[in-house]
Amino acid sequence: MQGFDRLLDTCRTLGIGVELGQGAMRVPETILGTPLDGDLARLLATHDGCRLRLGGWRFTLYPVGTDEGLVYQNEGLRRLSNDYLEPYPFSELVVFAQKGLQATYFATVPKLANSSGRHPVILVDTHEDPWALPIASSVDGTFTLLARYLDFAIGRSGPEGPAEYDLPFDVPQLLVEDGPLRSLVQSGALDPFVRGDSVVQEWVRQTFDSGR
């Protein structure tokens, strides 16, 4: 996976701590009955989980072979579905990673798989004012985005960069360079998964809707 390899190279260059799990003994085809992205499955077969850390910034790729891994995290979020004013379709997603120590998660959307079987990815925040928005056209695209974000943030503010520049709201220019993601958003395919107040909705519109 080129994006994942690029992310690891970026982390090592920038001095970001990397913890890689060993390959999973078994990777299921589904998580709680929802299809697992093929690229994600192959990655977990090689590295069952990954943690990146720089100061207070964290990224965690959930393992499949532990009691508090992929299944546990998805079960928990599906229980939260009805906490939203409009129940959120967590059962249609597979949450596979977490941003920082926050309740902010990367999730694939299997029903929107492309012709190569790759699932687009959204970022879901489950805090008091929950929101969700498109983040990448594929799992590997998510890793490419993270690598570019770290280069951007740390290049401008040093090790404190991730605290100064929020992903995604402070770096919309990085998201729109993902052409397949932009096309998905402009087509309306991801509309059922987008949530948020007027500020979030306007950010999504301004970021992606040119030419819609």
Taken in order of first residue, the domains within the chain and their CATH numbers are 2-208 (3.40.1580.10)
How far apart CA 189 and CA 49 sit, in angstroms, is 30
User: Which pLDDT band holds residue 101 (cuts at 50, 70, 90)?
Assistant: confident
Segment 17-62, tens digit of pLDDT: 999 999 999 999 999 999 999 999 999 999 999 999 999 899 999 9
Q: Which two tokens stand for residue 89?
A: 């379709």
**CA–CA distance, 68 with 81 (Å, rounded to integer):** 19
Q: What is the pLDDT of residues 144-197, one digit of tens each?
A: 999 999 999 999 999 999 999 999 999 999 999 999 999 999 999 999 999 999
Residue 107 tokens read as 């999730």
pLDDT in tens, 53-95: 999 899 999 999 898 899 999 999 988 776 665 678 899 999 9
* pLDDT above 90 coverage of the chain, percent: 82
What pTM does this model have?
0.94
